[in-house]
Amino acid sequence: MKTKSIVALLIIIAFTVGATGLAFATKNVAGKETADIRGTVTKIEDNKITVKVADKKETTVEVKKLPEGLKIGDRVVVKDGEVTRERPRRVIEGC
């Protein structure tokens, strides 16, 4: 009886974790599920942008609308097909 309860609990936990992961995912051009993308723009074509992420890999993402004035080298965040520029971090000298 105890074993059935533990197995049922593990199945519920696995399902919950999997469903939560899918809820926060977006699709890139290749149709792969990916998390929100944060990085530097390396290429812009129509409604697709290529972003170099922290691990030096490039990901091409189809977006709904490009922000006005977006250019190569801009730091962006892509979430649910929406592109937003990352604000430059302020550096306080002398700290």
Q: How many domains does the chain have?
A: 1
Is the residue at 62 inside a domain? Answer: yes
* CATH value at residue 39: 2.40.50
Higher pLDDT, 91 or 40: 40
Domain-located, residue 93: no
Residue 9 lies in a domain: yes
Please write the tens of the pLDDT for every residue from 28-85. 555 555 568 889 999 998 888 999 988 888 888 888 888 888 889 999 988 888 888 8
From residue 20, how far is each of 24, 31, 66 by CA, in Å? 7, 19, 28
Q: Is residue 92 part of a domain?
A: no
Domain containing 53 equals 2-85
Q: Report the alpha-carbon distance of residue 62 to residue 78 in Å, rounded.
A: 10
